[in-house]
Chains A and B, each alone.
Chain A
Amino acid sequence: AQSVTQLDSQVPVFEEAPVELRCNYSSSVSVYLFWYVQYPNQGLQLLLKYLSGSTLVKGINGFEAEFNKSQTSFHLRKPSVHISDTAEYFCAVSDLGSARQLTFGSGTQLTVLP
């Protein structure tokens, strides 16, 4: 079984400031790691994913995340945020089985202030 912990439920940040959203996971087997974004009243959109290889992965909208196996973390970062980045961000893991079942964290509400 896997579990995901997002340490911050809300992160307010001023426009053009950097931001880091933290994610830690627990699993007894190898997993794939994902960040999804949910804009108000919309579905989830994939920001980026780590499957293998380089531990630094780049996604859409200028976001990147770093996989740290020893710390079982997959923190999301952006060097300069925009008002339009205001949304709920979900970290998720999936096993490598045929179902690729996603287990989500509880979400982090990023609010970008002018």
Chain B
Amino acid sequence: DTAVSQTPKYLVTQMGNDKSIKCEQNLGHDTMYWYKQDSKKFLKIMFSYNNKELIINETVPNRFSPKSPDKAHLNLHINSLELGDSAVYFCASRDSGGRSINEQFFGPGTRLTVL
């Protein structure tokens, strides 16, 4: 009955590879987010989708491309991975019209290590 789930939990890969991280929420929310947490634990917004439409796109390299096939999923594809991409990536979701309009629910995170 996990609310926001991410796969994989750990991802170790070589520089230059392409990888994807998947996020799914079963809360019926219509807004989803990707955050990056660096090695100093600083959290920064990357993207947000509302009803499959991109609404936030912070200054992120073009190598990062979010894809939302439906309201319940927001995947993150990363091309040509670099050492600096090593971080923990968190997915979150929110119901923009419901009782928890102001609360974001976070997934457990995906720890990406680029060697």
Contact = CB atoms under 8 A, between A and B. Distances in A.
Interface in B81-115: 90, 92, 94, 96, 101-109
A49 B27 CA distance: 20
Interface string A67-81: 000000000000000
B77 interface: no
B56 interface: yes
Contacts, number: 58
Contacts of B35: 102
A49 B31 CA distance: 19
Interface of A, secondary structure class, is: strand
B25 interface: no
A102 B40 contact: no
A102 B106 contact: no
Contacts of B4: 43
Interface in B61-97: 90, 92, 94, 96
B76 to A, nearest CB: 15
Given A49-B102, A49-B103, A98 B42 contact: no
Nearest to B41: A107
Given A43-B108, A98-B55, A104-B44, 20 more contacts: A36-B106, A42-B108, A42-B109, A43-B90, A44-B43, A44-B92, A44-B106, A51-B102, A94-B102, A99-B48, A100-B31, A101-B45, A101-B48, A102-B33, A102-B35, A102-B43, A102-B45, A104-B42, A106-B40, A106-B42
Contacts of B56: 99, 101
A14 interface: no
A41 to B, nearest CB: 8
A106 B96 CA distance: 26
